[in-house]
Amino acid sequence: MNTFLQISQGKLVAAVLMPLALSGCASSLIEVRQGSEQVAVARADQVGQCKAIGKTTVSVLAEVGFISRGVDNVDANLLQLARNEAVSQGGDTVVAGDRPEIGKRTFAIYKCRP
């Protein structure tokens, strides 16, 4: 019985620690594309003189197992993905749009700089 208890405790510890470890890794798994650090974040009222390039909807895991990653971490990952996509589409500015659920958001992409 003692061996069974040790195995069960080990599985319980693994079940609790694994999602925590994975949630910490999730942020570091997002690629930072070259040039994305130059992509500005603006409000819709700041891009009137800019050329609209397109839109992108990005998504990341908001929960790992039963552990929530936290809105700030999720939003930071969404923003990085949007910046990456702006680089791919030739844009230099993103504007956050609809967020139908935590872990998913639409961004408008603009070209504001010459």
Mean pLDDT in the chain? 84
Residue 21 clears pLDDT 70, i.e. is over it: no
Write out the residue range of the structural domain in which residue 54 sits: 2-111
- Quick one: average pLDDT of 36-61? 97
Apex CA 104: angle with CA 38 and CA 98, to 5°?
Answer: 80
Overall number of domains in the chain = 1
Tokens of 98: 């609809």
pLDDT digit string, tens, across residues 71-83: 899 999 999 999 9
pLDDT at 51: 98
Neighbours of 111 (CB within 10 A): 16
- What was the pLDDT predicted at 69? 87
pLDDT for 22 beyond 50: no
Residue predicted with more confidence, 44 or 15: 44
> Does 103 have pLDDT greater than 60?
yes
Query: 38: which 2 tokens?
Result: 């130059």
